[in-house]
Amino acid sequence: MNHLTTPATRPDSLTAALVRLIREKPVAKADLEAAALFTLDAVANSLAGRNSDPGRILLNWWQASASSNVAPEPERFAFLMGALCHILETDDLHRMSVVHPGCVVVPAAWALALKRKAGGRALLTAILHGFEAATRVGMAVGPAHYRIWHNTATCGPFGAAMAAGELLGLNDEATVDALGNAGSQSSGLWQFLETGAMTKHLHAGHAAQAGVKAAELAAFGFTGPPRILEGEKGFFRAACPDADPDAVTRNPGAPWQLTLTSIKPWPSCRHTHPSIDAGEELRARLLADGIAPERIAQVDVSTYQAALDVCDRSVVLSDYEAKFSLQHAVAASLLYPRVDFEAFGPAARAYCAALAARIRVNAADPWASAYPTAWGGRVSLRLDNGTEYVAERTHAKGDPEAALSRDELIAKAEMLLRHGGVDEPRRIIDGVLGMAADGPLPDLDMV
């Protein structure tokens, strides 16, 4: 493993500059505390994901191929934890990169920290590094990439490799190798949306696994392409027609990107959340005025184009399709007191179908121009007598500008853990949050 200490001898690259930027950023106590909350969110999502059809399939796969006598390899455990984390659509989202960093970075870091018996501070520092790498690459890919490629799947491997490299103690050159080989495994297409296939969960698991494997190989001297991002046959040239390479290292003094990441309050695609937020306000106003929802004649939703690209779906035939439907999500926010897991189930889909059919969606300014800096929208409804109600959101609940409180984050985690069958959620909650003071990793009993 002499690659751990060999000094860098190769020409500079964008990946090398990214590694230096990340490792030069100071880590404050508040950053570790924020990382612990995001880690809790990811852990809770992974455990909750077990209580789903895809989750049960993943666990059956794990049991069928697991050996009871051998501890699981980190990359395999990272795959399972990452795939489970991305099932229920309640994991975090970084707006500027359109990446879900937690479902990739936390599983990769957790799996290696378990193997190496790392303490909480080492794990959380690695997670800060991983979020930074995944989101900075994501901010550079450009909007055209997202129309075909799933950014979490394509940018996530960079974050997983960065986090894994920190826990493995790789020097800068070896970390560049790890990111190069992780980036060469970037993949993940949106085609699954056409049929509601389970592929999106595979994306997160593969990204976590690819990063861990690339970092572990780099520790043995396995080289990777240093110019994987900007090279003539690299990632940007292959899959990013309007890439912005400077975004990878732009504004190095900014806060850690983890602290600029949003946490979801509702179990659906993040693109639906500004409209859900506005819809809940309208429902409360209708109730206050004594108006029954049956009197809603028409609803118009104005938002940004990416939301339409992913979530313009007026007819939904499954829970998963409903989670990626602006029409269903808004109908649920107007008809139900709480948009929870049940709001996307069969009974809710049937109940919401008539109203969803009367919902029109379009892209319009100022929300179209503000994206991806701000994810907002406008919901307006017209009653049978012509009266109109309107609600707008510049940012969705859970964004840094409208952040969930610590108590709300803990309550969300407890709800997810109980959904996943955890009898004593406080043990895991307190254990994860205690890592900010360098406490040990709690036992998750994932499988």
Concatenating the DSSP letter of every residue in 102-138 gives HHHHHHHHHHHHHHHT--HHHHHHHHHHHHHHHHHHH
Q: Check pLDDT > 70 for residue 68.
A: no
In whole angstroms, give the CA distance from residue 447 to residue 11: 45
Looking at the chain, the number of H-run helices and the number of E-run strands are 19, 4
Q: Is the Cα torsion angle 197, 199, 200, 202 positive or negative in sign?
A: positive
CATH superfamily placement of domain 270-397? 2-methylcitrate dehydratase PrpD (3.30.1330.120)
Q: Check pLDDT > 60 for residue 1.
A: no
Residue 66 has a pLDDT of 77
DSSP state of 187: -
In whole angstroms, give the CA distance from residue 60 to residue 407: 35
- Which residues, listed in sequence order, are joined to residue 120 by a DSSP beta bridge? none
CA distances from 263 to 18, 114, 270, 289, 397 (A): 25, 25, 9, 32, 8
Q: What is the pLDDT of residues 93-139, one digit of tens each?
A: 999 999 999 999 999 999 999 999 999 999 999 999 999 999 999 99
Lowest mean pLDDT among 62-71, 177-186, 398-407: 62-71
Place of tokens 């313009």: 312
Contact (Cβ atoms closer than 8 angstroms) between residue 21 and residue 252: yes
Q: What is the mean pLDDT of residues 313-337?
A: 96
Question: What is the pLDDT confidence band of residue 447, given thresholds at 50, 70 and 90?
Answer: confident
In angstroms, the first-to-last Cα distance of the chain is 32
Query: What are the boundaries of each domain within the chain?
Result: 2-265+403-437, 270-397
In whole angstroms, give the CA distance from residue 313 to residue 379: 16
DSSP state of 267: S
Q: What is the pLDDT of residues 280-307, one digit of tens each?
A: 999 999 999 999 999 999 999 999 999 9
Q: What is the pLDDT of residues 333-381, one digit of tens each?
A: 999 999 999 999 999 999 999 999 999 999 999 999 999 999 999 999 9
Tokens coding 253: 């003094």
Question: What is the pLDDT confidence band of residue 65, given thresholds at 50, 70 and 90?
Answer: confident
In whole angstroms, give the CA distance from residue 270 to residue 257: 18
CATH fold of the domain at 2-265+403-437? 2-methylcitrate dehydratase PrpD (1.10.4100)
pTM summary value: 0.91
Q: What is the mean pLDDT of residues 179-183?
A: 98
Q: Check pLDDT > 50 for residue 5.
A: no
Question: b/e per residue, 324-334, with b = 16+ CB within 10 A?
Answer: bbbbbbbbbbb
Average pLDDT, the chain: 95
Lowest mean pLDDT among 10-14, 121-125, 246-250, 401-405: 10-14
Share of the chain above pLDDT 70, in %: 97
